[in-house]
A and B are shown apart, each in its own frame.
Chain A
Amino acid sequence: MDSSVTPLVRVSSASVGWGHKTILSGVDLVLRDGDYLALVGPNGSGKSTLLRAILGLAAPLSGRVERSPRWRAGYVPQREGAAQLLGVRAAEVVAMAVPASWMPMSARARRREAAQTALSAVGMTAFAHHVYRDLSGGQRQRVMLARALASEPTVLILDEPTNGLDVGAQRDLLDLVRRLRAERGLACLLVTHSIRIARTEAETVALLHEGEMALGAPADILSEARLAQLYGARALGGVA
């Protein structure tokens, strides 16, 4: 089957929201192998809700989300759950993404090897035995990225990956994602409220605003005129 014909995921006429409340409607988008799509919008515009539907964590209120058999998501979440309390080494966090097996000894060796490989890919080999909660924000994001890679994904999904990082750490992380994507031919789905990051990183942008979505090339969708119309000239500084 020609992978360029069959998308990794296709969202058709979907509405997403919480409970019975619709946040976003009429969503149509397609993600193919090697694509780089950014979901952009202000807080509360439905970025994370749409992402949950794409990931299969929540069903759309209407419409369809179809994932191809080749869909394997390497997910870098925005929040960290109980991670701050449980003292787990970085290598173990990464190994959680390696599929389980009922042959404990071989599975353990395979998990360890896969975790080391993924940590090496993000430049974190030296931190494999450090406790995850003791790492800096940028290091933790790299471990999360390694965990996503350990699941051998076809698509990398990054939910606000630069939140809470200083400018240097943001740049390093985005450079790393760019390199990994080029090396492995991964599709990438980036959720961000930063117009600047979407503009510089993505090939296609889905701009979410007041329950609707506009899809296209960054230059068209994130043009100054359009943003000024949507956000107002004053607000533009806040989202860029």
Chain B
Amino acid sequence: MNDALDVVGLFRFAFAGTLLTALACGLLGVHVVARRMVTAGLALPQVAAFGIALGLVALSHADGHSAHAVEAGLPHVVALVCEVIAVLIIAWPRARAAVGQAAIAGMLFAGAGAVTVLVMAHSALGMEEVHHLVEGNVLAVGRADVVVLASVLIPVIVALALGSRRLISCTFDPEMAATLGVRVRLWQTLFYACFVVTAAVAVHAAGTLFVFSFLVLPGAAGVVLGRSGAGAMIVSAIVAVGGATLGFVASASAWDTPTGPTCAAAVLVLFLGCFALAAVRQRLTPG
């Protein structure tokens, strides 16, 4: 227990950044899973990684130091632009009618992944940066990174919490919500905006594997175990924060493993626990 507290104290900024990222992804994840947008949840972090890679390469050409590039914030801006374009492609009615949303998201995932590797392979930054983008380097998150994460993710978390009733109504049945006077287009835009900015900043801090895992697994736990919209959000938030905490402490102290993948594994274990709990509850429910 003391070891765990020591680790959290030593890496407090990294721990805070991990929790913020996990919570934002977890709250978004309920909607991602319930709307059957898991492939988009896979594609957008990858597109964000591509944007970050592009931003890093552009600035490393300008001054030769990727650290300056990060401080300049350009990678986040490029990631954001790439993600907005990706969302517009995913939502483009003609493309959806032609091959379906899942296929478009799959193409974006494959395309962005391939081009990221190709871009970085021919840059001064090399494949090490690709490794960081996928696996993440959460322990390297410092005070300045936490400020960036908090300034983006706290408003996202507050918006998702305060707007949860309207958002759940739009997720459950957007057409019905529209007939009840809910401004569905506004709420859908808010949801996608939260999705895009979260992926843009979270991928750079935690890597695509962490972001995808936390966009899907806590949300799936909320969907299988929650018995109300708010219940699903609460379960998802608990699983996300719990998985991040367990993974962080285990990776930084006991196991000495990469933090992002360890957190992903921890949240998978928690999801399996929730799934088992839901199955037991189903068996015990009469009728």
Contacts and interface: CB of A to CB of B under 8 A. Distances in A.
B142 interface: no
Interface in B147-204: 165-166, 168-169, 171-181
B228 A89 contact: yes
Instruction: Name which of B166, B225, B226, B227 has the most chain A CB atoms within 10 A of its CB.
Output: B227
A108 to B, nearest CB: 10
A87 to B, nearest CB: 5
A92 interface: yes
Given A87-B227, A131-B227, A96 B180 contact: yes
A79 B166 CA distance: 19
A88 B224 CA distance: 10
Contacts of A36: none
B40 interface: no
A80 interface: yes
Contacts of A80: 173
Interface in A94-143: 96-97, 99-100, 131
Given A82-B35, A151-B180, A57 B227 contact: no
A209 interface: no
Nearest to A132: B172
Nearest to B228: A92
B223 interface: yes
A82 B36 contact: yes
A63 B282 CA distance: 52
A88 B177 CA distance: 15
Interface residues of A, number: 26
A29 B171 CA distance: 33
B228 A75 contact: no
- Give chain A's interface secondary structure class: loop
Interface string B17-35: 0000000000000100111
Contacts of B181: 99
Contacts, number: 81
Interface in A41-59: 55-57
Contacts of A87: 223-228, 231-232
A86 B180 contact: no
B228 A57 contact: no
A193 interface: no
B258 interface: no
Contacts of A100: 165-166
A57 B224 contact: no
Contact of B232 (A83, A86, A96, A147): A86
Contacts of B165: 96, 100
Nearest to A100: B165
A45 B5 CA distance: 67
Contacts of B33: 85
B227 A96 contact: no
A81 B35 CA distance: 8
A22 B168 CA distance: 34
B180 A85 contact: no
A93 B172 contact: yes
Contacts of B232: 86-88
Nearest to A96: B169
B34 A86 contact: yes
A176 B226 CA distance: 31
A77 B173 contact: yes
B173 A85 contact: no
Interface string A141-155: 000000100010000
B172 A89 contact: no
B26 to A, nearest CB: 15
Nearest to B166: A100
A55 B227 contact: no
B229 interface: yes
10 contacts: A57-B178, A73-B179, A81-B173, A82-B35, A83-B172, A85-B33, A85-B34, A86-B30, A87-B228, A131-B227
The 6 closest A-B pairs by CB, nearest first: A81-B173, A86-B34, A75-B179, A82-B34, A96-B169, A85-B34
Interface of A: 55-57, 73, 75, 77, 79-83, 85-89, 92-93, 96-97, 99-100, 131, 147, 151, 157
Given A87-B224, A97-B176, 9 more contacts: A81-B172, A82-B34, A82-B172, A85-B223, A88-B172, A96-B168, A96-B169, A99-B180, A99-B181
